[in-house]
């Protein structure tokens, strides 16, 4: 069966080691190591770690695989799924592992197990799914840059005078303003005198 999730995300030895744990903290840390998750500080990882129930190792492997596949699909950046399509995907995965029809499906769960799984996932995952999507899905930012039509661009706005830099000449580098006025007046008088001579 090509779509089977049996032993896909967790090996039998990892789940056997998990079954030997008795405290909740040990189970959570081992389950986080099996699923290759960070410690349960992230809300998405805490939800996934809460899915372990009293199933056999094979059933636990399939259940974790279904939940991880479902969450990866629903909480990815490009996911546009709603609750209805997500639930239909969950039903198809669960049905493929609860009916013996080789090669399309393999029976891992009994009808009683399916009822427990559907109740648990419906109450702990699908009811708050919009909230999970809002909290756990990375937000994609879109920036729009508007340009003028036909490639014509307006000149940039000049800086305000409050940002102007005052230019001061070093002392002795140029004549003072009174000396400059006197030089201009003298040049004007010389030009006027030459004009009268001609």
Give the contacts of 105 (CB within 8 A, at least 6 positions apart): 1, 95, 96, 97, 98, 99
Chain-centroid distance, C-alpha 1 = 33
Mean pLDDT across the stretch 69-79?
Answer: 78
Q: Where are the domains of the chain?
A: 12-136
Which of 41-50, 112-121, 128-137 shows the lowest mean pLDDT across its residues?
41-50
Q: What is the model's pLDDT at position 55?
A: 73
C-alpha 110, offset from chain centre: 38
Q: Which residues contact 121 (CB under 8 A, 6 or more apart)?
A: 51, 67, 90
Token pair, residue 156, equals 């940039």
Is the pLDDT at 105 greater than 80? The verdict is no
From CA 71, how far away is CA 145, in angstroms rounded? 34
The pLDDT of 49-62, averaged and rounded, is 67
> What is the structure's pLDDT at 41?
54
Whole-angstrom Cα distance, residue 76 to residue 14?
Answer: 27
Residue 151 phi, psi (nearest 5) = 75, 5
SS3 129: helix
What does the pLDDT read at residue 3? 55
pLDDT at 40: 47
Taking the CB of residue 122, how many other CB atoms lie within 10 A of it?
12
Query: What pLDDT, on a 0 to 100 scale, did the predictor assign at position 124?
Result: 84
Q: Give residue 1's pLDDT.
A: 45
**Whole-number Å distance between alpha carbons of 105 and 94:** 10
- Answer whether residue 166 shows pLDDT above 80: no
Q: Is the pLDDT of residue 56 over 70?
A: yes
Measured in degrees and rounded to the nearest 5, phi and psi for residue 73 equal: -70, -45
Give the number of other CB atoms < 10 A from CB of residue 114.
17
Predicted local confidence at residue 2, as pLDDT: 46
What percent of the chain has a predicted confidence (pLDDT) above 90?
3
At residue 155, φ and ψ (nearest 5 deg) are -65, 150
With a cut of 80, say whether residue 126 has pLDDT above it: yes
pLDDT band at 88 (very low <50, low <70, confident <90, very high): very high
């Amino acid at each position: 069966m090509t779509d089977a999730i049996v032993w896909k995300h967790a090996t039998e030895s990892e789940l056997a080691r998990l079954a030997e744990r008795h405290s909740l903290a040990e189970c959570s840390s081992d389950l986080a190591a099996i699923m290759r998750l960070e410690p349960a500080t992230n809300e998405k990882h805490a939800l996934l770690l809460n899915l372990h129930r009293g199933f056999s190792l094979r059933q636990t492997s399939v259940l974790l695989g279904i939940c991880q596949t479902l969450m990866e699909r629903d909480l990815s950046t490009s996911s546009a799924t709603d609750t209805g399509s997500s639930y239909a995907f969950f039903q198809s995965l669960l049905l493929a592992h609860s009916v013996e029809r080789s090669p399309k499906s393999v029976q891992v769960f009994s009808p009683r197990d399916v009822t427990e799984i559907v109740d648990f996932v419906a109450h702990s995952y699908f009811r708050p799914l919009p909230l999970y999507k809002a909290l756990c899905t990375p937000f994609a930012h879109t920036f729009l840059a508007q340009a003028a039509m036909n490639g014509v661009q307006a000149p940039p706005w000049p800086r305000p005078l409050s940002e102007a830099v005052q230019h001061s000449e070093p002392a002795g580098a140029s004549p003072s303003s009174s000396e400059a006025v006197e030089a201009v007046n003298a040049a004007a008088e010389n030009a006027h005198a030459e004009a009268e001579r001609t």
